[in-house]
Structure 1
Amino acid sequence: MEERETITLLGENGEETEFEILGVITVEDTDYAILAPLDDEDDQAYIFRIDTDENGEEILSVVEDDEEFEMIRDAWETLYDDELELDADDDFNEE
């Protein structure tokens, strides 16, 4: 069985959620992580922009701009023709 690459994020209410990293996509010189909650049975995934903080560490940022979100979702679906539903992420804080 193939081992999943995972990451744990903190939600707005402070609870931890473990995500499977489905992939990373680069659009217009910006990297985005596509993540799916391990405990989600609805086949939903979330898009996070991979940014760099003031210490040079990679952080995940919520994609808040609708146009940016649609662009990334379309690129992911074109590349992977995936059946996952990519949702705007309103539940998780920046990491």
Structure 2
Amino acid sequence: MAENFEDMGADLYTLVDEEGVEQTFELMDTYETDEGELYYALVPYYENPEDMVEADTELVILRSEEDENGEETLASIDDDAEYERIGQIFMDRLSETYEE
């Protein structure tokens, strides 16, 4: 699951994938639907800002789910239509934010 910590103001999450590999991501945005579904838009985090500029970074979109213990987990979105719809919402929101 996600481990949230602060580093110079950035919201960072360390996620563990299905193979047990940890990677740190920076939170770019969250979005909650009218139905109460919560989504996270993240990008891989690099300690050295130059590494981020050189990287071919893709936006990672995950859905918040509750596990059997009532803890929040972040899960990939398997439904293509849902992924496209939420992805477009994030792209529109982030485009507006970074145009300024």
Residue of structure 1 in register with 2:44 after alignment: 37
**Does 2:63 match 1:56?**
no
Aligned runs of 1:3-82 on 2, under 5 Å? 3-29=9-35, 30-39=37-46, 41-81=55-95
Q: Which has the higher contact order (CA 8 A, sep 6+)?
A: 1
Deviating runs (4+, > 6 A) in structure 1?
none
Q: Which runs of 5+ in 2 are unaligned?
A: 1-7, 47-51
Paired residue total: 81
* Aligned-CA RMSD value: 1.8
Cα distance, 1:12–1:53 mapped onto 2, change above 3 Å: closer
Higher helix share: 2
Structure 1 length-normalised TM? 0.73
Structure 1: which 5+ runs fail to align?
83-95
Could you say which structure has the larger radius of gyration? Answer: 2
- Per-residue deviation, 1:34: 0.7
